[in-house]
Amino acid sequence: MLNSYNFSQLRKIVDINSYTKNKIGVDRNGEVFTSWMEAIGYESILYEREEIGNHLLFKSSKKEGKKILLLGHLDTVFSPFSFESFSEDDEWIYGPGVCDMKGGNMVALEALRNVYNNFGEIKNIDLLLVSDEETGSDDSKTLTLSLAKEYDYCLVYEAAGKNGEVVTSRKGVGTFFIDIKGKATHAGNEYEKGIDANLEAAYKSIALTKLTNLEKETTVNVGKIEGGIGANTISPSAKLTFEFRYTSIDEKIRVLKEFERINQNSYVDGTKATLSGGIQRDVMQENDKQLEFLKEIEEIYGESILKEKRGGVSDANHMASEGVITLDGFGPFGDGDHTTNERANKKSYLDRIELSTKIFTYFMSN
């Protein structure tokens, strides 16, 4: 089948630059996908946006029983002219989004086509494609969370693991800022009258970093420090930009409390600080209902399926945080994502289509 399968439709959307900030390209990608979904009986709902690509919800007919949402994203990380070529050899397909995640979207589509061809219609299986996942889903987050209550299950089509693993756990992540105010004075003439915001930032940076607990897989990374005017001036202002990743709600609570304490504590007398930012995607924790669902999928597929935890985040975090039984990693295995070496494995691509086809067929029949 590898030799007979035609990747030309995948190539069609890979050849469209879908950088998150390229609204025209993202919308063009969405238009192509809309034509394909409507051809198999889906109703398309467009959530128009002015500055980013439009989000798309494809709704099937409904019947009694469990409802599944398939989840993907239209955007990639590659700006125009940076990486836009599609190629293939006997084993791999190469190009922007072949695994993250135009390839995953196509896996879902091909499986839905198979079901449509077998049943003549599709029921209780919807697809949501958002346009801003690669920049944090700041706009689409509200939409995704609002839709979650309508579904019992969610399958996310980010890339599979190397051995076909699906993802049962993803860290939560948040981005935060501390703005520090001090007082500028001449570093030579009035050193003692200054209030050094840079020094306060240094103390706060150390305190934040000490919150990291690798045994619990909790990390706090101060990724950017800004401040000061010049070497001869006591710094009147500084800013810390930091990220927090965690694997449990307990750690989330602990660290957020510590952020408040560190912000309020003045290590340098006279400084004032303001904490802002927040949790971008809450933790996706492995749970019993999810593992029961995975066992059911193994029975449907007729093979065991490995599982893994990932430190990176996806929109699976949003669905899981709303209590929807969520599994991720249903796209093809690939590597080099977010680089010009991105590729996806052809066999994995076809294996994932088969897996999803069997899952959809089972739910259509029950």
Q: Is the pLDDT of residue 65 over 70?
A: yes
CB 187 within 8 A of CB 195: no
- Average pLDDT of the residues of the chain: 97
pLDDT band at 4 (very low <50, low <70, confident <90, very high): confident
Query: Environment class of residue 120 by beta-carbon count within 10 Å: exposed (0-12), middle (13-18) or buried (19+)?
Result: exposed
Q: Give the tens place of pLDDT for each residue, 214-257.
A: 999 999 999 999 999 999 999 999 999 999 999 999 999 999 99
Mean pLDDT of 63-84: 96
User: What is 64-131 written as a DSSP string?
Assistant: SS--EEEEEE--BSPPTTTS---EE-SSEEESTTTTTTHHHHHHHHHHHHHHHHHHSS-BSEEEEEES
Rounded Cα gap, residues 93 and 344, in angstroms: 5
Q: Is residue 153 within 8 Å of residue 69, measured between CB atoms? A: yes
> Taking CA 69 as the corner, what is the angle to CA 67 and CA 72, rounded to the nearest 5 degrees?
170
pLDDT tens across 95-118, in order?
Answer: 999 999 999 999 999 999 999 999
Instruction: Decide if 62 contacts 56 (C-beta within 8 A).
Output: no
Question: E strands of 166-209, at which residues?
Answer: 166-170, 172-181
pLDDT of residue 353: 98
The predicted-structure confidence for 294-333, as pLDDT tens digits, reads as follows 999 999 999 999 999 999 999 999 999 999 999 999 999 9
* Cα dihedral 26→277→338→314 (10° resolution): -80
Question: What is the CATH architecture assignment of 172-281?
Answer: 2-Layer Sandwich (3.30)
Please give the DSSP secondary-structure letter assigned to residue 165.
P
What is the per-residue pLDDT for 237? 98
Gap between the Cα atoms of 112 and 42, Å rounded = 10
For the four alpha carbons of 250, 256, 260 and 265, in that order, the dihedral sign comes to positive
Domain residue ranges in the chain:
8-169+283-365, 172-281
- 124-135 pLDDT, tens digit per residue, is 999 999 999 999
Q: Is residue 158 predicted with pLDDT exceeding 90?
A: yes
Position 40 confidence tier, pLDDT thresholds 50, 70, 90: very high
Other beta carbons less than 10 A from residue 6's beta carbon: 7
Q: Which has more confidence, 37 or 5?
A: 37
8-169+283-365 shares its CATH topology with 172-281: no
Element (H, E) at 156: strand 153-156
Residues 57/139, Cβ–Cβ less than 8 Å: no
Does the structure show a pLDDT above 90 at 3? no
Q: Check whether 38 has a pLDDT greater than 70.
A: yes
Burial degree of 188 (CB within 10 A; 0-12, 13-18, 19+): exposed
pLDDT given at position 225? 98
Q: Average pLDDT in the 27-56 region? A: 98
State pLDDT tens for residues 271-290: 999 999 999 999 999 999 99
Q: In this predicted model, what pLDDT tens digit does every residue of 134-150 receive, in sequence order?
A: 999 999 999 999 999 99
Q: Under 8 Å CB-to-CB from 356, ≥6 apart: which residues?
A: 107, 108, 110, 111, 155, 330
CATH of 8-169+283-365, one of 2.40.50.140, 3.40.50.10170, 3.40.630.10, 3.10.20.30: 3.40.630.10
CB 279 within 8 A of CB 136: no
C-beta neighbour count of 45 within 10 angstroms: 12
**Residue 99: per-residue pLDDT:** 95
* CA neighbor of 240 nearest in space, from 203, 281, 266, 195: 203
* CA gyration radius, the chain: 24
